[in-house]
Amino acid sequence: MVRRTDRKGETIRGERAINEAEAAVIRRIFTMAAEGASPIAIAKTLNGAKIPGPNGRAWQDTTIRGHAERGTGILRNELYTGVQVWNRMHYIKDPATGKRVSRMNPTTEWVREEVPHLRIIDQDLWDCVQERLAAVRIASGADKIDRAVFHERRRAKHVLTGKVFCGGCGGSFGAVGQDYLSCTAARKQGTCDNRRGIRRSELEILILDALRHQLMQPEHVAEFVTEYTAEYNRLNSERSAALASHKRELESVTRKLDGLIDAIAEGMRAPGLQQKLDTLEARKVELTRLIETAGISLPLLHPNLAETYRERVTDLHAALTREDGGTAALEAVRALIERVDVSPPDGDDPRSLPKIVLTGAIAAMVGLALEPGSRTSKAALCGAGVSGLFASSVMVVAGNRSHHDLRGLQGLAREIKLVAGEEFQQDLLFRAAA
């Protein structure tokens, strides 16, 4: 590739040539837009025709529409009319993150270069599309949209914000308007079949109810506490065995060091002596540290965990519905929810609820049910020492009511899975994740 530099001395990357297949897709996009298709409709059509988008991914409306002020998006890209625009942006390093971020240059600093051999859209088609884009912008009141985005960002978070995913494609289940959630890919790209949404308020009620009544059933919690206690005791005896062995080794290392130091004091010099001294001293430091940190206290769980947990969630639920002081409660409830997946219901009955799977964060759940204000248990739960215990030990696998499959705890992840919806009353799954 030939490297040239522009008038500011920056390297021009990628000397361009027309890729005919891509050019055909671009012409199709402009033609559809000129005929009045919205960017969302265009994205859906292209995805429906299995035409790969930029970087091989599915088409998105934003890629097609772009941003008016920034002059981005396929429909606003002047390169397709044979004009290359340079120097639209400059890059600065964000001092907080160290990442390069783009900033717009004033339009007076933009540099336009005629590259007529790269034109793929004729002027009439371009003008027609630009008129349409401008008309849509005026009709929608773009400055009002900016204000709406600002408002959206400032608005208090909902309990489920950022936690709801599509059971069909794994993508986000985004908000439509004030009180409705549906699969973003199904709505905007047509790449997912999960077209059924759910009202946010309805989903919140289901999830809060599941947290209160399903996720910590007394019989499951009893099993959980039993398993946890067994694991707790096993770890404790492992720890005390290790502690005793470390103490014995420390005594021995200290004796050897003392012996060496005496020998050196009496004038003994031998090759490798210094190295031996260093090794022993390093081991002594290591053993001392191991012995000092061996005493991290783990929370012992009360058999009444389920009751305590339920009372707390009920309190939180009440706090959430109050006008004031809801923020702390909101964050506390959010911490209990790992994710919520929404899939289409089985069968075609339009009245049936989507299938809702709630994955709870068990460390947070157990933390919530521990004695309030007991700092040791709280610190221990949050501390690295215990998160390891949870990661390896908390998982219990249970089937439906008739079949309780209790597995060994080692190597299982810390998730509880609950199926809500039709089988809401029966199916409590403590799911083993790989």
Q: Give the interface with Zn ion as residue ranges (CB under 5 A).
A: 166, 168-169, 183, 185-186, 192, 194
For residue 301, is it left (φ>0), alpha (ψ between -120 and 50) or beta?
A: beta
Nearer to Zn ion, 168 or 354 (CB): 168
Nearer to Zn ion, 168 or 360 (CB): 168
| Burial classification of residue 275, based on how many CB atoms lie within 10 Å of its CB (0-12 exposed, 13-18 middle, 19 or more buried) | exposed
Nearer to Zn ion, 196 or 220 (CB): 196
> How far apart are CB 209 and Zn ion at their closest, in Å?
25
The secondary structure of 43-77, three-state, reads HHHHHHCCCCCHHHCCCCHHHHHCCCCCCCCHHHC
CB 200 within 8 A of CB 179: yes
> How far apart are CB 169 and Zn ion at their closest, in Å?
3
> How far apart are CB 192 and Zn ion at their closest, in Å?
3
> How far apart are CB 237 and Zn ion at their closest, in Å?
48
CB 48 within 8 A of CB 40: no
Quickly tell me which residue has 């501390």 as its tokens: 383
SS3 state at 89: strand
CB 429 within 8 A of CB 398: yes
Nearer to Zn ion, 110 or 180 (CB): 180
CB 432 within 8 A of CB 397: yes
Nearer to Zn ion, 71 or 174 (CB): 174
> How far apart are CB 175 and Zn ion at their closest, in Å?
15
CB 407 within 8 A of CB 429: no
Distance separating alpha carbons of residues 56 and 22, to the nearest angstrom? 12
SS3 state at 415: strand
Nearer to Zn ion, 198 or 416 (CB): 198
CB 15 within 8 A of CB 2: yes
Query: 385, 394, 366: which is closest to 295 by C-alpha?
Result: 385
Angle between helical axes of 326-336 and 362-369 (0-180°, round to 10) = 130
CB 168 within 8 A of CB 161: no
> How far apart are CB 208 and Zn ion at their closest, in Å?
24
Nearer to Zn ion, 160 or 368 (CB): 160
> How far apart are CB 157 and Zn ion at their closest, in Å?
22
> How far apart are CB 353 and Zn ion at their closest, in Å?
17
Who contacts 109 (Cβ-Cβ below 8 Å, separation ≥6)?
87
> How far apart are CB 168 and Zn ion at their closest, in Å?
4
Nearer to Zn ion, 29 or 185 (CB): 185
Nearer to Zn ion, 121 or 169 (CB): 169
Quickly tell me which residue has 């059924």 as its tokens: 196
User: H helices within 51-199, ranges in order?
Assistant: 61-65, 123-140, 142-154, 184-188
